[in-house]
Amino acid sequence: MAPRTRRRTEALSRERIVEAAVELLDTSGETGLTFRTLTERLATGAGAIYWHVANKDELLAAATDGVLTTALRAGSPGSPRDEIRAVALGLFDAIDHHPWLATQLALQLARGSVTPRIFEVIGRQVRELGVPKGQWFTTTSALVSYILGAAGQNATNARSAVPHANRDEFLNAVSSAWEDLDPEEYPFTRAVAAELRGHDDREQFLAGVDLVLAGITAVHLPRAE
Amino acid sequence: MAPRTRRRTEALSRERIVEAAVELLDTSGETGLTFRTLTERLATGAGAIYWHVANKDELLAAATDGVLTTALRAGSPGSPRDEIRAVALGLFDAIDHHPWLATQLALQLARGSVTPRIFEVIGRQVRELGVPKGQWFTTTSALVSYILGAAGQNATNARSAVPHANRDEFLNAVSSAWEDLDPEEYPFTRAVAAELRGHDDREQFLAGVDLVLAGITAVHLPRAE
DNA sequence: ACCTGAACACCGTTCAAGT
DNA sequence: ACCTGAACACCGTTCAAGT
């Protein structure tokens, strides 16, 4: 058994660096990850990190990629609809545990690196659903857009460290803020503000997935039961 | 008429600062806006800017807010569905013209400041559609999530300066990249890669909106024609 | 091949000093 | 009340030097 006390002298590797980056992001947020904090955490110099990783963008991409891989490993053996729900929930929960993931996914969507990963997993199920080939692309895009958009918005709620207690407080605060909006400008938002208070993020997220699935059924699978 | 040549000595104001920030973001991207470039552009000192604006976050929020206000001023006099399409397209086009807007919207969604604006405009139409009150919140959330998610993804395509010529090249490049993906891991994505080549972003975006609307009709308006 | 750590260029922000 | 601009703390990145 290797001596525990020598942990800081374990060989530096890309994996260890990315792992430490994820930890820093999880514990102290996006601003908490700098080359100084990382250097300190790994008890090394800045140059050592640059030997394994090209720059900070690549480091963030690797961190995102790692968490994403875990999240997409849903793979329950259900119907296409169940698979789509499972993948969507996997992403949702990943953002819940790693709030920085939402921002990072949004930033990297703009660089095209993440899209195919999610696209592939959802697209296979769209095919299984029986959507005609000519509609695969459009249909999958719509689903992926909803999933990423909704998961991203839920990142707002995901920052409370304490799982449930603070979440209720947080929803209360947002709900109150919405109720205080200008009645002239925000009549609708004020009317639904109260609904925020009791609502379950996951449930609502899934309800949206089902809504899109219902649209797909109505438009592209006219003879489905 | 005020002398044109004294433009740089016009009184500094919050509006002029935000306006200059938007211009810098449009012309040189997110990295192009710094307090140095802004200071130079406005022929003033850093402290002068801080007199009118609390910090860079507030400046970015103000820039986002300004562009968003223009974008949401769609207001065609059509059916609720047409209004929803118009608002969605307004946002889509705004991101097309100001690629930095997608990132900024994503970042500010996580701070809750932008959501009510879009929520309100879409929500009113959901109400007009006849969706039962108990479903207003969920339904509006789903629509807004799709719209923001899809518009954000399209920011990828929106960075080419030349309107159409480069866009085709860009789509070609992405399409080729998708075709070069590992056949073992990305069979679906490869199968639809070709569809990317000819496709119209706006059309596909609207098709997605219609898909969600169809789902809303199927689930919440069972007796609609 | 891999690591060290001082140094560089650049950033957001502050603040004493001016008008 | 509003503006100036030098100064500060901090960041990502580089690189000569070590092993």
pLDDT band at B168 (very low <50, low <70, confident <90, very high): confident
Evaluate if residue A166 carries a pLDDT over 80.
no
Neighbours of A191 (CB within 10 A): 19
Q: What whole-number percentage of chain A has pLDDT above 70?
A: 86
Q: What is the pLDDT of residue A9?
A: 55
Cα gap A11→B141, rounded to integer Å = 48
pTM exceeds 0.75, yes or no: yes
* pLDDT band for position A13 (cuts 50, 70, 90): very high
Structural domains in chain A, CATH included, are 2-14+16-53 (1.10.10), 76-220 (1.10.357.10)
Task: Select from B4, B14, B15, B16 the least CA-distant residue to B42.
Answer: B16
**Average pLDDT for residues A70-99, to the nearest whole number?**
87
Quote the pLDDT of residue B51. Answer: 97
Per-residue pLDDT, averaged over B60-87, amounts to: 89
> Mean of the pLDDT values across residues A92-116?
82
- Asked if the Cβ–Cβ distance from A153 to B192 is below 8 Å, we say no
Q: What is the 3-state secondary structure (H, E, C) of chain A?
A: CCCHHHHHHCCCCHHHHHHHHHHHHHHHCHHHCCHHHHHHHCCCCHHHHHHHCCCHHHHHHHHHHHHHHHHHCCCCCCCHHHHHHHHHHHHHHHHHHCCHHHHHHHHHHCCCCCHHHHHHHHHHHHHHHCCCHHHHHHHHHHHHHHHHHHHHHHHHHHHCCCCCHHHHHHHHHHHHHHHCCCCCCCHHHHHHHHHHHHCCHHHHHHHHHHHHHHHHHHHHCCCCC
Q: Do A212 and B142 touch (CB under 8 A)?
A: yes
Query: Which residues have CB under 7 A from strand D?
Result: A 33-36, 45-47, 50, 55-57; B 11-12, 43-48, 50-52
Structure tokens belonging to residue A168: 């209720």
Q: Is the pLDDT of residue B109 over 90?
A: no
pLDDT of residue B157: 58
Percent of residues, chain B, with pLDDT higher than 90: 56
Query: Per-residue pLDDT averaged across A107-122, rounded?
Result: 81
Nearest-by-Cβ selection for A120 from B142, B186, B214? B186
The beta-carbon neighbor of A153 closest among B115, B204, B219 is B115
